[in-house]
Structure 1
């Protein structure tokens, strides 16, 4: 595992599963965590026979989070209240999308085409994954959104790029999630489907977390992407 930084991109934690990676997985952590959070998941997820992968786990910027009494922590955007349609700081979301695009551009400079890059995220990171995916003019290989929802789902069509719906989506959520209630994730999956995305939607009997069955299903979905 290595940590890297560059002036134009966020600092990242990286793991490569083999020499000369053919694919990249850009994975965004949740509120208050950092790029190390999901790195231990790599050996649980990766399967024999997969192409060499580069996992890139960026650290979100540190910012004050209103809902947490203004405490500064790593966050992809500010959360200004409890009302889901308006809770996400739109300026912060736009800033994070730009930062994600810079990371995607760096992977392209390292030889990974957009159609060999998966964008993944958990909770806040998943919200950015979906928001960024909507705007993609050049489709990625797929979007992975875990325990999350689409910010501004009611206005999603206004942000939709024509090519974006070519990106398949894996969404998964806990039925007992107390942080992001299932109803908001379910609505987001439905909106994405109505917009034309191929959404594989999973529910698991868990809280705001990941589980072994979810990782197995995600691995199945990723295996299909690599086989195309």
Structure 2
């Protein structure tokens, strides 16, 4: 597997963000995006890790090999899901979390997140992880294996306080807004107290300046600087 792209903390490292790209992309794309919006300059105590997914054959794209966290059969809620691949990728993401914990960063000071399937994987991982995380950033994403929740929740009482920022454009033609709203309904039904859903008018399957500002606010709120 390719080494992740990393932006080290520029002050004392007291928190970490692990952010996953979408289908057929690489970690450096999002490193560049975070740099473009000056997020590491604004939040200097945080280390940013942008892993790159392995290359696998994608069923939806007629078996074409591309970087992907798991196989994809379709993007609407009725599509078959690669449960084994999602669970394996979730273990991989959890291993990045555990590396940070070994390096002295408490799990509550680690936010995981991602765009599209990367955000989907982050949501799933945060809910089933044995660790209580600092939060989740889910951009243009969905909650995979929806029917396995809430039974799949690990340490359910602590997950109720898991901060989640879910962002979605209402003109997204790949992961349609209705799928994101379905996730919103499910998260609220699970009783998550720190769940925020933000919808961006006119945004398609991409990101925008307002969304990146909302991400900065979320990070500053849930990973505040510590002396």
Q: C-alpha distance in 2, partners of 1:164/1:45?
A: 30
What SS does the aligned partner of 2:223 have? helix
- Residue of structure 2 equivalent to 1:213: 210
- Extract unaligned runs of 5+ from structure 2: none
Find the partner of 1:95 among 72, 83, 88: 88
CA distance change for structure 1 residues 165 and 209 in 2, over 3 Å: closer, same or farther?
A: same
Task: Map 1:73-222 onto structure 2 (within 5 A).
Answer: 73-81=66-74, 83-161=76-154, 162=156, 163-197=158-192, 198-204=194-200, 205-222=202-219
When you count strand as a share of all residues, which structure comes out higher?
1
**Which region of structure 1 is more displaced relative to structure 2, 151-160 or 112-121?**
151-160
Structure 1 unaligned regions, length at least 5: none
SS at match of 2:101: helix
Cα shift readout 1:135-164 (whole Å, capped 9, x = no counterpart) = 123211001100010012233212112222
Q: How many residues align?
A: 220
The structure-2 alpha-carbon separation of the partners of 1:49 and 1:39, relative to structure 1 and needing over 3 Å to count, comes to closer
Query: Structure 1 residue runs of 4+, over 6 Å off?
Result: none
Contact kept in structure 2, 1:78 and 1:92, CA below 8 Å? yes
> For 1:59 and 1:191, how far apart are their aligned partners in 2?
29
In the TM superposition, residue 51 of structure 1 has moved relative to its aligned partner by 4.6
> TM-score, normalized by length of structure 2?
0.90
Aligned: 1:39 with 2:39: no
CA displacement at 1:82 relative to structure 2: 5.1
SS for the counterpart of 2:220 is helix
The Cα shift of 1:47 comes to 6.9
C-alpha root-mean-square deviation of aligned residues, in Å? Answer: 1.8
